[in-house]
Amino acid sequence: MGCCESKETPIQRISQNGKPAVPIRAKRPKDLLFLILYIAMLGGMGYIAFICIKNGDPSRYLHGVDSWGNICGKKNNEIIPGVNTSGLDRSNYTYELNMRLALDPSSLLKTGSGAAVLCVKECPAKLIQCKQLLSDNTYNLSMNVINERICTMPYGWIPAHTHIFNRCVPLQLLQVSCINQTNGTSSAQQNSAVSVIAHQMVTSVVNNWTNIVYMVLISLGISLLMIVLLQIFNRVIVVLIVILAGIGSVAATSYLWYCYAVSTGFINSTDVENTVNAVRDFQYLLPLCIAVTVATLIILILLVWVRKSLCLVVKLFDEASLAVFNMPGVLLQPFITLTSILVVLTYFLIVSAYIFSIEVPKVDISGMVSFVQNPDLSTTALIAPHIFGCLWMMEFVSGCQQVIIAEAVSSWFFNQRQKTCKYDMCPTLRPTLHLILFNLGSVALGSLVIAIVQFFRVILAYIQRQLRGKESKTVRFVLKCMACCLACFEKVLKYISRNAYICVAMYGDSFCTGAKHAVSLLIKNAQNVLALNCVSGFCLFLGKVSVVVLTAFVGVAWFTAKLGTRASAVDYGAPLTISCFCSFVIASAFFNVYSMAIDTIFLCFCDDQERNNGSDRPYFSSVALQKYMTRPPGGKTKKNKKTPAKSARTRSIHPGWWLGSGYKSK
């Protein structure tokens, strides 16, 4: 039976006539109900976008708006009833000037609480009188409004300003040192200065976008280089990681217990006095020592338990490297996936901006306008399905990549004994066609399950934010426990879905059948699974971190050369941070291909061991990989190196290995 009690066609898993059993795909669409549901969701998302674009106007936030509803830098045709100064042509008045901030720089950067906002041609470059500024920018207002709502300070003089992101900001706020002053500096001044720094960072990013693009390209090259190094030095990397994990955990535990001994007076030492005092203030030293000790014991026990499986991890790295380099086309898949995710994120940001800009003007007694939420359109009713739909689309794109790579690698695993390898240079073409014709419903179901859990996490985070500072300790503890449980549950679901997608790609199963088969194979090979996940996952994580670190070093040298040594941290901090973040995303995309190849080869081998016996039905896996694996039925490891089990293929790397197959049939 498939998902939702649907009928499932049996998959042939054992061949006849003494030939190796090759997985036979079920060539019919699966989980069509969830594909229809996904298409309906896309239609609903389109309707929400139409409603939001029709009623929203994010240009008020992008360009600024004055206190009479006129958007700066734009010709305003809409006249607000009861407001004579609305509907003005502000095309030449491109800067927003907050009068409260201009007359009193210590105030917060906001337009509420009676503050007036103007659209001006240029930010005042020198000291200017408030009333003159109004006349220069064609605001014909009554003297009562000018005196009571705009020029409220005794002398009404406006200091010199500069423009940052279409906003006029007093020059004195650009003195970042005011944040570090402890005497005579209010929190309002600090918040205003922080807001200015944020605008400076945005401006720095806009001015250095070409340098950011160059850094992204450099990180792309570093990622490819790290994949090559991982293939060449995988044995050294695996052994080094295991040694460092054991030594590092023991060293950390010993140091913490040493700190605890110093804090109790059992040992007299001043070398760790600062560390002891810092931890003692929070009274976490003893619980921290106990927790780290338990974690260290668990790590050491796991390392001892999986020590015999480390050779398996090395061989899986070898096989995955050979698969990736024999099918260089799979390295193009991350570009398609990243582009799709970028499109979804762009759609999410644009529609979200329109959702939060669905507001209607509200006129006060003095004729000034403020914008409030539209009572006819609930922001919550629009943003909730919008967030859920975008989460579902993101997971759907990720699931499609996993299925495509899994089918490409599994086809390579089971078909390399053949002499013709016509899909090597374009290995993702046939998997993509199979995905479109047969597997979209399964991906829609798997991504739906994960998106539901992610949506509950978003709701829980929103509740925590709304109750911050108001909830009791019990409620805070319960909410944190729920958040932790949901995060763990999401990771488990992602792991199961990942392996289910592999079985979906191998056999054309439905999602539920593939998940059941995958979990069965994983349970039968639990020890190898543990070693594989711990060691390979950490190796790939170190690869990602290495890419980020190298990108950061190159970025510091790059921005120093471009901006000069006099540039402040604000000038290159934001571009460098964005460059490092993009490098981590790119590295994750490429290393996820590597990780998916490892997991696919592992499940392919487990399935190969389950369906073939090595005698009348030879194995598809290489002899080098077989001797490190544990047979699922009997749990015995093959250690006979002289007479290994018969294999359907043997390794023979020829000079044209990049373009051709890495394996030749006997």
d(CA 89, CA 73): 8
**Alpha carbons within 13 A on the beta-carbon side of 321:** 20
Tell me, rounded to whole angstroms, the distance of Cα 144 from its chain centroid. Answer: 53
d(CA 60, CA 289): 54
What is the helix, strand, coil percentage profile of the chain, to 5? Answer: 65, 5, 30
Nearest CA-CA partner of 413 in 67, 89, 20: 20
Q: At a CB cut-off of 8 Å and minimum separation 6, what does 228 contact? A: none
Kindly calculate the radius of gyration of the chain based on its CA atoms and give it in whole angstroms: 31
Contact assessment for residue 414 and residue 22, using Cβ atoms and an 8 Å cutoff: yes
**What per-residue confidence (pLDDT) applies to 665?**
34
| Angstrom distance (rounded) from CA 254 to CA 417 | 53
pLDDT of residue 379: 85
Q: Tell me what pLDDT residue 19 has.
A: 54
Q: Are 413 and 604 in contact (CB under 8 A)?
A: yes
Bridge partner residues of 402 (DSSP) = none
Q: Which amino acid is at 421?
A: C
- Report the sign of the C-alpha dihedral through residues 518, 524, 529, 530, in that order: positive
How far is residue 164 from each of residues 6, 64, 98, 123, 174, measured CA to CA in Å?
Answer: 60, 12, 13, 10, 11
Of 12, 604, 543, 15, the C-alpha closest to 240 is 543
Q: Looking at residue 124, what is its pLDDT?
A: 85
Task: Write out the DSSP string of 266-324.
Answer: SS--STTHHHHHHHHHTT-HHHHHHHHHHHHHHHHHHHHHTGGGHHHHHHHHHHHHHHH
Give the tokens for residue 68: 């009479």
Q: Measured between alpha carbons, how far is residue 430 from residues 26, 383, 510, 515, 610 in Å?
A: 15, 38, 19, 23, 26
Query: CA–CA distance from 398 to each of 58, 297, 514, 599 (Å)?
Result: 30, 36, 17, 16
**Domain ranges within the chain, ordered by starting residue:** 63-207, 212-664
CA distance 68 to 83: 7
User: Which tokens sit at 439?
Assistant: 């597997």
Token pair for residue 284? 């976490």
Reduced to 3 states, what is the DSSP secondary structure of residue 486? helix
Instruction: Output the six-digit token pair for 569.
Output: 């941290």
Residues 6+ apart with CB under 8 A from 347: 49, 390
Task: Mark the ranges of the chain whose per-residue pLDDT is less than 70.
Answer: 1-26, 102-115, 136-138, 140-149, 152-156, 173-200, 265-284, 306, 308-309, 416-425, 563-571, 614, 628-666
Tokens of 184: 């005579």
Distance CA 436, CA 255 (A): 56
**Measured CA angle at 352 (ends 349, 354), to 5 deg:** 115
CA-CA distance, 533 to 499, in Å (whole number)? 12
Q: Give CA–CA dist 400/440, Å, rounded.
A: 8
The answer to whether the CB of 507 falls within 8 A of the CB of 11 is yes
- Say which DSSP state 373 is in: E
Claim: this prediction has a pTM higher than 0.75: yes
Those residues with Cβ within 8 angstroms of residue 594's Cβ, 6 or more apart along the chain or in another chain = 227, 230, 320, 321, 324, 540
Number of helices (H) and strands (E), helices first, in the chain? 21, 10
What is the spatial distance between Cα 37 and Cα 445, in angstroms, rounded to a whole number? 9
- Cβ–Cβ < 8 Å for 430, 411: yes
> Which pLDDT value is given to residue 634?
41
CB proximity list for 429: less than 8 A, separation 6 or greater: 423
For 639, list phi and psi in degrees, rounded to 5: -120, 0
- Token output for 54: 């029709």
The helix/strand/coil state of 13 is coil
379 vs 41, 61, 353, 371, 454, CA distance in Å?
Answer: 19, 17, 11, 14, 20
Q: Residue 424 has what pLDDT?
A: 58
State the pLDDT at residue 660: 32
The answer to whether the beta carbons of residues 292 and 598 sit under 8 Å apart is: no
Residue 470, amino acid? K
Pair 594, 403: CB distance under 8 Å: no
The burial class, CB within 10 Å (0-12 / 13-18 / 19+), for 542 is: middle
614 dihedral zone (left: phi>0; alpha: psi -120 to 50; beta): left
Query: Angle at Cα 40 formed by Cα 34 and Cα 43, nearest 5°?
Result: 150
Asked if 125 and 95 touch (Cβ cutoff 8 Å), the reply is no
Put residue 82 in one of left, alpha, beta given phi > 0 → left and psi -120 to 50 → alpha.
Answer: left
Element (H, E) at 498: helix 473-507
Q: Look at residue 395 in the predicted model and tell me its pLDDT.
A: 96
Tell me if residue 170 falls in helix, strand or coil.
strand
